[in-house]
Amino acid sequence: MCFRVRQAAWLAMMMVALASAPSCATAATAASSHASTHAKDASKKNTSAKAKATTNKAANKTPSVPNNQRLADLCKRLAPRLPGVSVNDCKNTALVASSAQSREGVPMLVKEQAAAKGKPELRILMLGGIHGDEPTASAIVFQWMKLLQTPAAQGFHWKIAPVVNPDGMLAAKQKRTNAKGVDLNRNFPTPNWKTEAPRYWVKETGSDPRRFPGTTPLSEPESRWVNDQIERFKPNVVISIHAPFGVLDFDGPVEPPQKFGRLMFNPVGVYPGSLGNYVGLHKNLPVITIELPNSQTMPPDAEVQRIWLDMLTWIRGHVPPTSSKKAPAASKASSKASSKASTKKSAASAAASHK
């Protein structure tokens, strides 16, 4: 009897154990499910956090500023420095604030205008203000840009940079050099630059800081940009405006101009690292250097017009377009003779000229 009681009790215990087993399995499954849900939630949180971080990063990134706003901002800074140029004059030029920048991050301003349909492809690269303390050399370019829509100008393909040295132009006290103290017009890669440019700077200028050529050619973003424009645009003629010697200078393979307005042809020299030396003598492209008579005061309006018209007339008659770019042999020979005379004359007046 006792045996049967014990057996019944044992069977009851087994039944209870079997009845509770599914509950344990269910609990295990529930625990597993909870862990999986937690992992998914954590993954979602991480994804959300990453998305939020990306959004915040995008929000903090400086938005691109439209060109008209960048130009307007620059014009407000430049116009007070340029005689006879208003903010509206500057804004109405339709200049483009390019991605290229000066040493201090000022965008290089440039305007390109193609020739009228059916005209020969004659390309003009015009550069103003390579020296920041010659504001008239930039101001006159702004005046000439108003004339680009006239018939006389529409026969050419133009690329114009009115302020090549914005840092020097915008400095508290305008200066010849860029923000790093380099004379951009001594920073071009003429042959033997590494020996000739430093030697000339020390011996001929007495280490004048205003004429420091830099430590290597094309060391400056502004001179590199000009060089890049020459390589990409492939001009037939380069016009560089300076002040205050009141003359015309010329380097290159064609007959030099004799007179633009009241400015007479009078070579001011050939210097290591100068634009005229580099482009005119070693790239064999005509380079006209217009030296205005005053760096701070503009010529009369009539003279501004006359220089412009004489310049266009000379280019039309002496510079061959791209299709016939090779200059006549006689002109080349004459130009070489002129260059030699220029070099001889510059030796006597180097201390005073320094274009």
pLDDT higher than threshold 70 for residue 301? yes
Q: Is 282 helix (H, G, I), strand (E, B) or coil?
A: helix
Question: pLDDT value at position 6?
Answer: 52
Return the structure tokens found at 108: 């290089």
- Catalytic entry in 220, 222, 255, 291: 291
**pLDDT of residue 53 exceeding 90:** no
pLDDT at 348: 35
Find out whether the peptide bond into 244 is cis, omega within 30 degrees of 0: yes
The tens digit of pLDDT for each residue in 202-220 reads 999 999 999 999 999 999 9
Query: Is 70 exceeded by the pLDDT of residue 30?
Result: no
* Cα–Cα separations (whole angstroms), residue 278 to 49, 188, 223, 271, 273: 57, 6, 12, 9, 7
- Average pLDDT over the chain reads 82
Distance CA 21, CA 18 (A): 5
pLDDT band for 332, please (50, 70, 90 cuts): very low
* Residue reference for tokens 């116009």: 79
Per-residue pLDDT at 35:
43
Tokens of 160: 């114009």
- pLDDT for 1 equals 47
pLDDT, tens digit (0-9, with 9 covering 90-100), for 143-152: 999 999 999 9
Does position 174 have pLDDT exceeding 60, yes or no? yes
Average pLDDT over residues 302-308: 98
The burial of 253, by beta-carbon neighbours within 10 Å (0-12 exposed, 13-18 middle, 19 or more buried), is given as buried
pLDDT value at 223 more than 50: yes
How high is the pLDDT of residue 64? Answer: 56
- Asked if residues 239 and 251 have their Cβ atoms less than 8 Å apart, the reply is no
> Which band of pLDDT confidence, cut at 50, 70 and 90, is reported for residue 269?
confident
Q: Check residue 38 and give its pLDDT.
A: 46
Give the residues across from 264 on adjacent strands: 247, 259
Cα 322 from Cα 309, distance rounded (Å)? 22
**324 pLDDT more than 60:** no
pLDDT, tens digit, 9 for 90 and up, residues 54-97: 434 333 333 456 788 999 999 999 999 999 999 999 999 999 99
Q: Which amino acid is at 253?
A: P
Residue 339 has pLDDT above 50, yes or no: no
Q: What is the mean pLDDT of residues 298-309?
A: 98
Residues β-bridged to residue 159: 112, 125
Strand-pairing partners, residue 123, are: 157
Q: How far apart are CA 349 and CA 136, in angstroms?
A: 24
pLDDT of residue 340: 39
Question: Band of the pLDDT at 315, cuts 50, 70, 90?
Answer: very high
* Main-chain dihedrals φ then ψ at residue 241, nearest 5 degrees: -105, 135
pLDDT of residue 37 exceeding 80: no
Element (H, E) at 126: strand 123-128
Size of the chain in residues: 355
Residue type, 298: M
Instruction: Please report the pLDDT score of residue 323 as a whole number.
Output: 59
Distance CA 208, CA 191 (A): 22
**Of 348 and 73, the one with more pLDDT:** 73
Is the pLDDT reported for residue 45 higher than 60?
no
91: number of Cβ within 10 Å: 16
**Amino acid 142: pLDDT:** 98
**Both tokens assigned to 233:** 């645009």
Contact 122, 132 (CB under 8 A): no
Per-residue model confidence (pLDDT) at position 106: 97
- What does the DSSP assignment read for 25-84? HHHHHHHHHHHHHHHHHHHHHHHHHHHHHHHHHHHHSPPPPPHHHHHHHHHHHHGGGSTT
Q: What is the mean pLDDT of residues 324-341?
A: 41
Mean pLDDT of 316-339: 56
CA 342/CA 4 separation, integer angstroms: 135
- Is 291 an active-site residue? yes
Contact 270, 251 (CB under 8 A): yes
Which of the four pLDDT bands, split at 50, 70 and 90, describes residue 137? very high
pLDDT band, very low/low/confident/very high, at 252 (cuts 50, 70, 90): very high
107-113 and 157-161 beta bridge pairing? antiparallel
Helix (H, G, I), strand (E, B) or coil at 194: helix
Residue listed under structure tokens 């940079």: 161
CB 291 within 8 A of CB 246: yes
Instruction: Yes or no: say if 291 and 244 are a contact pair by the CB < 8 Å rule.
Output: yes
Q: In the sheet where 247-251 sits, what is the strand order? A: 96-101, 107-113, 157-161, 123-128, 237-242, 287-291, 247-251, 263-265, 259-260
In this predicted structure, what is the pLDDT of residue 65?
63
